[in-house]
Chains A and B, each alone.
Chain A
Amino acid sequence: MEVLADFFAQYGDLLLQEAWNTILMTVISTFFAYVIGLPLGVALVVTSPKGLRPHRVVNAILGWIVNIGRSFPFIILLVVIIPFTRLLVGTSLGVAGAIVPLTVSAAPFVGRMVEQSLSEVDAGLIEAAQSFGASTWQIVWKVYLREGVSSLIRGVSIAYITIFGYAAMAGAVGAGGLGDLAIRYGYQRYIGSVMVAAVVICIIWVQLFQSIGDYAARKIDKRR
């Protein structure tokens, strides 16, 4: 017990601070990834060959953007877009510096997740809405997003946890957070206990997030 008390006395504040940084950068990045990815996913579905407004060229271009974005290794993207990051938030370091590459890298992924969730919505419901004279916008708002809500929420859990994993990598280039802490103390200074504590906090947080996501998705779904 005493050992633990000593450990937390020494590193507790540090762990808490970096855990907060990690949560901050991942939550904000996930939010912005959806700001970009949600319309992207909707556009992919709507312009697809069987969509409400089929458009081959737009669909193909969006598809390419998404695929290029997704195939770009994150660690490289992180470095390549540093000038863009500086332009946008004034620094490439810390939480603010991490949010830009995390968002850019996750948005195409989120776009695909949203596309997947929306294409699971029963085509019969889309047709029914059309038969009542619903416009494309009304179908997107009132049918796709509403009927696909449970799947969309499950997607948020997956996207968030993926971003969480990337955030540890961002730590390697000065983003801070738990991943950075684990590398600096565990790998570079051989203080394994800090690394272990950081990893344990990561595991607990991811588990918690996934459970809350699953619960919310189940609770909101009115299908039986």
Chain B
Amino acid sequence: MIEIEHLNKTFTARSGVHHALSDINLRIEDGDVFGIIGQSGAGKSTLVRCINMLEQPTSGTVRIDGADITGYRGRQLLGLRSRIGMIFQNFSLFQQRTVLNNVTFPLELSREGRGGKNATREGREARAKELLELVGLADHADRYPSELSGGQQQRVAIARALANEPSIMLCDEATSALDTRTTVSILNLLRDINKNLGVTMVLITHSLAVARMVCNRIAVIDEGRIVEEGSTEQVFSNPQSAVTRELLHFDSLTQVQADEERAGN
């Protein structure tokens, strides 16, 4: 469970103080697929990075399974991050490593002694192969990321994020660089991982259509504040804020296209 309370984040620039996040309160239950939705610049990227402390909050608390992580430093912080998977808009795969060695990367970092099965190259590669099997890319293990399509690259990134058996996975605009059909297949994969492995997903996106497909709960963020939160059905059937309605209107235009794509499958 992730509990975010009174979270604030300010950036000090030459032009003055910028409030990226203002008094954020959220509760994400185990097994949720939680969507954080907003326009670019709304603060959703900053918010999701406060969950693995890639961004240090200015004030407030983030608790994961009851433990306040905002004070974590050094090894404790690295240990926390290794238990949270993350995927990115531009996949962020290591270009000079093979697909297989991208997936072994998080396993190579392990600080948990030398006894485990990840201590040897063979052990790590065996685990990576299982994961590539899971995302349907077992036969691409020895290729390089530049030889893969965008959808395939994101699958590799998902396998990499799962390497350390995380209980939480953060998805930062994971489908925004993909076409509609690939988006649907990636979202299906994320949903399967959530169902079969029980991984809690925090998914940030600017697209309500994406959120609608996979999320059971949604929070809408605008100018650093949560303007709406609820179950996916609630938010879609009865949007409370102007920002949500605006997003919905824009989405209804692209939704038609998405439906057509799905009907074609």
Contact = CB atoms under 8 A, between A and B. Distances in A.
Interface of A: 122, 124-125, 127-135, 138, 142-143, 146-147, 149-150, 220-224
Contacts of A223: 95-96, 144, 146
Contact of A132 (B90, B95, B109): B109
Nearest to A131: B86
Contacts of A135: 78, 109
Contact of B97 (A134, A146, A220, A221): A146
Contacts of A142: 105, 108
A129 B81 CA distance: 10
Interface in B123-163: 144-147, 160, 163
A20 B81 CA distance: 53
A125 B52 CA distance: 16
Interface in B66-120: 77-82, 84, 86, 88, 90, 92, 94-97, 105-106, 108-109
Contacts of A132: 81-82, 86, 105-106, 109, 160, 163-164
B132 to A, nearest CB: 17
Nearest to A132: B106
12 contacts: A125-B92, A127-B88, A127-B92, A131-B81, A131-B84, A133-B79, A133-B80, A133-B82, A133-B109, A134-B78, A146-B97, A224-B146
Contacts of B88: 124, 127-128
A128 B97 contact: no
Nearest to A147: B96
Contacts of B97: 146, 222
A131 B83 CA distance: 10
Given A127-B92, A130-B54, A150-B96, 5 more contacts: A124-B88, A132-B160, A138-B108, A142-B108, A222-B96
In the A-B complex, list the 6 residue pairs whose CB atoms are closest, starting with the nearest: A133-B82, A133-B81, A128-B92, A131-B86, A132-B106, A133-B78
Contacts of A143: 94
Contacts of B78: 133-135
A121 to B, nearest CB: 10
A153 to B, nearest CB: 12
A206 to B, nearest CB: 28
Contacts of B92: 122, 124-125, 127-128
A146 B94 contact: yes
Nearest to B95: A223
Contacts of B80: 133
B203 to A, nearest CB: 15
Interface in B29-85: 52, 54, 77-82, 84
Contacts of A130: 54, 81
